Amino acid sequence: MALERLIPIGEVPERVHELTGSLRPKVSTIRDWCDRGYLRSRKIGGKVMVFTDSISEHVLGKEEE
């Protein structure tokens, strides 16, 4: 299994913008997506970290194997 990369929740809006070219959601929207289970996240040392692969899966759709 490949090592999944985590990024701080504050960097997710820019990552979404890079993937879509248009959307740049607010951090509050990203938190909502995490709460609803759309994005996988972990709280580490008091900071919310988001798995980068879950961002692309949510925005672009899950890749078929």
Q: pLDDT by residue (tens digit) across 46-64? A: 999 999 999 999 988 876 6
The residue type of 48 is V
Report yes or no on whether pTM surpasses 0.85.
no
The two tokens of residue 7 are: 């990024």
The two tokens of residue 6 are: 């985590």
Q: pLDDT by residue (tens digit) across 1-36? A: 345 699 999 999 999 999 999 889 999 999 999 999
| Interhelix angle 12-20/27-36, nearest 10 degrees | 90
SS3 6: strand
